[in-house]
Amino acid sequence: MPAGGHPDWLRPEWDAPGVGALMTTRAGGISEGAFESMNLRDGLGDSPAAVVHNQAVFAAAIGARPVWLNQVHGAAVVRLRPELFGQLPTADASICTEPGLACTVQVADCLPVLFAAPGATFPRGVGAAHAGWRGLAGGVLEATIAALCDAAACAPGELQAWLGPCIGPRQFEVGAEVLQAFGADPQRGDQAFFTARAAPGKWLADLAGLARERLRRAGVSRLAGGGWCTVEQASRFFSYRRDRVTGRMVAAVWLERRG
Protein backbone atom coordinates (compact mmCIF):
# COMPACT_ATOMS: atom_id res chain seq x y z
CA MET A 1 0.00 0.00 0.00
CA PRO A 2 1.33 3.50 -0.79
CA ALA A 3 2.65 5.62 2.08
CA GLY A 4 -0.23 7.44 3.69
CA GLY A 5 -2.80 4.75 2.95
CA HIS A 6 -4.95 3.48 0.10
CA PRO A 7 -5.72 5.95 -2.74
CA ASP A 8 -9.46 5.51 -2.13
CA TRP A 9 -9.27 6.70 1.48
CA LEU A 10 -10.55 10.20 2.24
CA ARG A 11 -8.49 13.15 3.41
CA PRO A 12 -9.82 16.43 4.83
CA GLU A 13 -9.75 19.51 2.66
CA TRP A 14 -8.37 21.89 5.26
CA ASP A 15 -5.36 24.10 5.85
CA ALA A 16 -3.71 22.54 8.88
CA PRO A 17 0.05 22.00 8.45
CA GLY A 18 1.43 19.50 10.93
CA VAL A 19 -1.89 17.68 11.26
CA GLY A 20 -2.36 14.23 9.76
CA ALA A 21 -5.91 13.07 9.04
CA LEU A 22 -7.72 10.51 6.93
CA MET A 23 -10.71 8.21 6.82
CA THR A 24 -10.69 4.66 5.52
CA THR A 25 -13.19 3.21 3.06
CA ARG A 26 -13.90 -0.45 2.30
CA ALA A 27 -10.69 -0.63 0.24
CA GLY A 28 -7.27 -1.78 1.34
CA GLY A 29 -7.77 -4.76 3.66
CA ILE A 30 -8.09 -8.53 3.58
CA SER A 31 -11.49 -9.15 5.22
CA GLU A 32 -14.01 -11.16 3.20
CA GLY A 33 -17.75 -11.48 2.73
CA ALA A 34 -19.89 -8.86 4.44
CA PHE A 35 -16.72 -7.29 5.88
CA GLU A 36 -14.87 -6.86 2.58
CA SER A 37 -12.22 -5.61 2.79
CA MET A 38 -10.92 -2.98 5.27
CA ASN A 39 -12.98 -3.80 8.35
CA LEU A 40 -11.18 -2.33 11.37
CA ARG A 41 -13.36 -3.52 14.23
CA ASP A 42 -13.20 -6.88 15.96
CA GLY A 43 -16.18 -8.65 17.51
CA LEU A 44 -18.58 -8.25 14.58
CA GLY A 45 -18.18 -11.73 13.10
CA ASP A 46 -15.16 -11.02 10.93
CA SER A 47 -11.99 -13.11 11.13
CA PRO A 48 -9.96 -11.82 14.12
CA ALA A 49 -6.76 -12.41 12.16
CA ALA A 50 -8.07 -10.25 9.31
CA VAL A 51 -8.96 -7.45 11.69
CA VAL A 52 -5.51 -7.57 13.31
CA HIS A 53 -3.94 -7.40 9.85
CA ASN A 54 -6.16 -4.50 8.79
CA GLN A 55 -5.43 -2.56 11.98
CA ALA A 56 -1.70 -3.04 11.45
CA VAL A 57 -2.00 -1.76 7.87
CA PHE A 58 -3.95 1.23 9.12
CA ALA A 59 -1.44 2.07 11.88
CA ALA A 60 1.47 1.82 9.44
CA ALA A 61 -0.34 4.08 6.97
CA ILE A 62 -0.95 6.89 9.44
CA GLY A 63 2.44 6.65 11.13
CA ALA A 64 0.88 7.18 14.57
CA ARG A 65 -0.49 4.95 17.33
CA PRO A 66 -4.29 4.78 17.09
CA VAL A 67 -6.16 4.83 20.40
CA TRP A 68 -9.49 3.01 19.97
CA LEU A 69 -12.57 3.95 21.98
CA ASN A 70 -15.45 1.96 23.42
CA GLN A 71 -18.13 4.05 21.74
CA VAL A 72 -21.52 4.15 23.48
CA HIS A 73 -23.40 6.94 21.62
CA GLY A 74 -22.76 9.39 24.46
CA ALA A 75 -20.96 12.71 24.84
CA ALA A 76 -17.92 11.80 26.97
CA VAL A 77 -14.53 13.07 25.75
CA VAL A 78 -11.18 11.57 26.72
CA ARG A 79 -7.81 13.33 26.45
CA LEU A 80 -5.27 10.97 24.93
CA ARG A 81 -1.97 10.35 26.66
CA PRO A 82 0.70 7.69 25.97
CA GLU A 83 -0.45 5.50 28.86
CA LEU A 84 -3.87 5.07 27.18
CA PHE A 85 -2.37 3.30 24.17
CA GLY A 86 -3.58 -0.29 24.22
CA GLN A 87 -6.51 0.50 26.50
CA LEU A 88 -10.14 1.01 25.43
CA PRO A 89 -11.53 4.17 27.09
CA THR A 90 -15.33 4.43 27.15
CA ALA A 91 -16.05 7.67 25.29
CA ASP A 92 -17.40 8.92 21.99
CA ALA A 93 -14.74 11.55 21.39
CA SER A 94 -11.09 12.15 22.07
CA ILE A 95 -8.64 15.03 21.90
CA CYS A 96 -4.86 15.07 21.88
CA THR A 97 -2.06 17.61 22.19
CA GLU A 98 0.83 15.14 21.94
CA PRO A 99 2.39 14.05 18.63
CA GLY A 100 2.29 10.37 17.75
CA LEU A 101 -1.13 9.42 19.14
CA ALA A 102 -4.15 9.30 16.84
CA CYS A 103 -7.71 10.16 17.82
CA THR A 104 -10.00 7.64 16.13
CA VAL A 105 -13.71 7.16 15.43
CA GLN A 106 -15.23 3.90 14.13
CA VAL A 107 -18.36 4.30 12.02
CA ALA A 108 -20.77 2.59 9.63
CA ASP A 109 -23.48 5.29 9.19
CA CYS A 110 -22.85 7.59 12.17
CA LEU A 111 -21.02 10.82 11.41
CA PRO A 112 -17.29 11.16 12.18
CA VAL A 113 -16.11 14.73 12.84
CA LEU A 114 -12.41 15.58 12.95
CA PHE A 115 -10.99 18.76 14.48
CA ALA A 116 -7.70 20.63 14.12
CA ALA A 117 -6.48 23.51 16.27
CA PRO A 118 -3.76 25.19 14.17
CA GLY A 119 -1.03 27.24 15.84
CA ALA A 120 1.31 29.95 14.63
CA THR A 121 4.20 27.56 13.99
CA PHE A 122 2.76 24.13 14.88
CA PRO A 123 -0.76 22.82 15.55
CA ARG A 124 -1.84 22.90 19.17
CA GLY A 125 -4.24 19.99 19.22
CA VAL A 126 -6.63 17.68 17.39
CA GLY A 127 -9.85 15.88 18.16
CA ALA A 128 -12.33 13.35 16.80
CA ALA A 129 -16.00 12.81 17.63
CA HIS A 130 -18.47 9.99 16.93
CA ALA A 131 -21.77 11.72 16.15
CA GLY A 132 -24.75 9.46 15.72
CA TRP A 133 -28.07 11.16 16.37
CA ARG A 134 -28.03 10.33 20.08
CA GLY A 135 -24.53 11.65 20.64
CA LEU A 136 -25.16 14.67 18.45
CA ALA A 137 -28.35 15.56 20.33
CA GLY A 138 -26.54 14.88 23.61
CA GLY A 139 -23.83 17.43 22.88
CA VAL A 140 -20.82 15.36 21.82
CA LEU A 141 -19.62 18.01 19.37
CA GLU A 142 -19.94 20.83 21.87
CA ALA A 143 -18.15 18.74 24.51
CA THR A 144 -15.31 17.98 22.09
CA ILE A 145 -14.95 21.64 21.11
CA ALA A 146 -14.84 22.72 24.76
CA ALA A 147 -12.27 20.07 25.69
CA LEU A 148 -10.04 20.79 22.70
CA CYS A 149 -10.17 24.55 23.17
CA ASP A 150 -9.29 24.15 26.84
CA ALA A 151 -6.39 21.80 26.13
CA ALA A 152 -5.06 23.80 23.17
CA ALA A 153 -5.71 27.25 24.68
CA CYS A 154 -7.70 28.45 21.68
CA ALA A 155 -11.15 29.74 20.81
CA PRO A 156 -13.78 27.76 18.86
CA GLY A 157 -13.41 30.16 15.95
CA GLU A 158 -9.80 29.03 15.50
CA LEU A 159 -10.76 25.40 14.97
CA GLN A 160 -11.24 23.63 11.68
CA ALA A 161 -13.69 20.75 11.39
CA TRP A 162 -14.16 18.05 8.77
CA LEU A 163 -17.28 15.91 8.43
CA GLY A 164 -16.81 12.42 7.02
CA PRO A 165 -19.30 10.11 5.30
CA CYS A 166 -22.53 9.22 7.12
CA ILE A 167 -26.06 8.10 6.33
CA GLY A 168 -27.42 10.74 3.97
CA PRO A 169 -30.59 12.86 4.03
CA ARG A 170 -32.33 10.67 1.44
CA GLN A 171 -31.83 7.52 3.52
CA PHE A 172 -32.00 8.39 7.22
CA GLU A 173 -35.61 7.65 8.14
CA VAL A 174 -36.39 8.52 11.76
CA GLY A 175 -39.31 8.70 14.15
CA ALA A 176 -40.71 11.40 16.41
CA GLU A 177 -38.20 10.69 19.19
CA VAL A 178 -35.36 11.93 16.99
CA LEU A 179 -37.14 15.19 16.19
CA GLN A 180 -37.90 15.71 19.87
CA ALA A 181 -34.25 15.10 20.78
CA PHE A 182 -33.30 18.05 18.56
CA GLY A 183 -36.12 20.30 19.72
CA ALA A 184 -38.14 19.92 16.51
CA ASP A 185 -41.94 19.64 16.55
CA PRO A 186 -43.29 16.24 15.46
CA GLN A 187 -46.69 17.83 14.84
CA ARG A 188 -45.34 19.86 11.93
CA GLY A 189 -44.46 18.73 8.41
CA ASP A 190 -41.23 19.70 6.73
CA GLN A 191 -38.88 21.74 8.91
CA ALA A 192 -35.19 22.50 9.25
CA PHE A 193 -33.16 19.28 8.71
CA PHE A 194 -36.28 17.05 8.70
CA THR A 195 -38.44 16.18 5.68
CA ALA A 196 -41.84 14.60 6.36
CA ARG A 197 -42.53 11.24 4.73
CA ALA A 198 -45.84 9.93 3.48
CA ALA A 199 -45.82 7.30 6.24
CA PRO A 200 -47.30 8.74 9.45
CA GLY A 201 -44.75 9.56 12.14
CA LYS A 202 -41.72 9.23 9.85
CA TRP A 203 -39.23 11.82 8.59
CA LEU A 204 -35.97 11.91 6.66
CA ALA A 205 -33.23 13.52 8.76
CA ASP A 206 -30.14 15.40 7.58
CA LEU A 207 -27.51 14.20 10.06
CA ALA A 208 -24.64 16.17 8.50
CA GLY A 209 -26.81 19.28 8.32
CA LEU A 210 -27.72 18.98 11.99
CA ALA A 211 -24.02 18.64 12.82
CA ARG A 212 -23.05 21.71 10.77
CA GLU A 213 -25.70 23.74 12.57
CA ARG A 214 -24.40 22.61 15.96
CA LEU A 215 -20.81 23.37 15.00
CA ARG A 216 -21.69 26.86 13.79
CA ARG A 217 -23.68 27.60 16.93
CA ALA A 218 -20.65 26.51 18.97
CA GLY A 219 -18.49 29.01 17.10
CA VAL A 220 -16.79 26.74 14.54
CA SER A 221 -17.21 28.25 11.07
CA ARG A 222 -14.38 26.62 9.11
CA LEU A 223 -16.14 23.45 7.97
CA ALA A 224 -15.42 20.95 5.20
CA GLY A 225 -16.62 17.53 4.06
CA GLY A 226 -19.95 15.89 4.72
CA GLY A 227 -20.97 15.17 1.13
CA TRP A 228 -21.02 11.35 1.09
CA CYS A 229 -23.83 8.89 1.89
CA THR A 230 -22.73 5.57 3.36
CA VAL A 231 -26.00 3.84 2.46
CA GLU A 232 -26.05 4.86 -1.20
CA GLN A 233 -22.40 4.03 -1.96
CA ALA A 234 -22.35 0.32 -1.12
CA SER A 235 -19.12 -0.47 -2.97
CA ARG A 236 -17.20 2.22 -1.07
CA PHE A 237 -18.64 2.43 2.46
CA PHE A 238 -19.87 0.10 5.17
CA SER A 239 -23.45 0.80 6.27
CA TYR A 240 -25.20 -0.80 9.24
CA ARG A 241 -28.58 0.62 8.20
CA ARG A 242 -28.24 -0.94 4.76
CA ASP A 243 -26.62 -4.30 5.58
CA ARG A 244 -26.90 -4.89 9.36
CA VAL A 245 -23.95 -7.31 9.30
CA THR A 246 -21.05 -5.16 8.13
CA GLY A 247 -17.65 -3.76 9.02
CA ARG A 248 -16.50 -0.44 10.41
CA MET A 249 -14.47 2.35 8.85
CA VAL A 250 -12.19 4.62 10.86
CA ALA A 251 -11.61 8.36 10.76
CA ALA A 252 -8.41 9.47 12.46
CA VAL A 253 -6.53 12.68 13.19
CA TRP A 254 -3.13 13.17 14.84
CA LEU A 255 -0.31 15.62 15.38
CA GLU A 256 2.68 14.79 13.24
CA ARG A 257 6.05 14.50 14.91
CA ARG A 258 8.36 17.47 14.40
CA GLY A 259 11.52 16.91 12.44
- What is the pLDDT, as a whole number, of residue 119? 81
- What is the pLDDT, as a whole number, of residue 1? 67
**Residue pLDDT, tens place only, 175-229:** 999 999 999 999 999 999 999 998 899 999 999 999 999 999 999 999 999 999 9
Is it the case that residue 13 has pLDDT exceeding 80?
A: yes
As a whole-number percent, the residues of the chain with pLDDT over 90 amount to 91
- What is the pLDDT, as a whole number, of residue 259? 56
Identify which has the larger pLDDT, 107 or 120.
107
Is it the case that residue 121 has pLDDT exceeding 80?
A: no
Q: Which stretch of 119-128, 146-155, 196-205, 244-253 has the lowest confidence by average pLDDT?
A: 119-128
One CATH from 3.40.50.720, 1.20.1260.10, 3.60.15.10, 3.60.140.10 for 19-168+218-255: 3.60.140.10
**Residue pLDDT, tens place only, 231-259:** 999 999 999 999 999 999 999 999 998 75
Average pLDDT for residues 74-84, to the nearest whole number? 95
Numbered ranges of CATH 3.60.140.10 in the chain: 19-168+218-255
| pLDDT category of residue 148 using cuts at 50, 70 and 90 | very high
Q: What is the pTM of this model?
A: 0.97
User: How far is Cα 208 from Cα 164, in angstroms, rounded to an integer?
Assistant: 9
Is it the case that residue 2 has pLDDT exceeding 70?
A: no
Is it the case that residue 9 has pLDDT exceeding 90?
A: yes
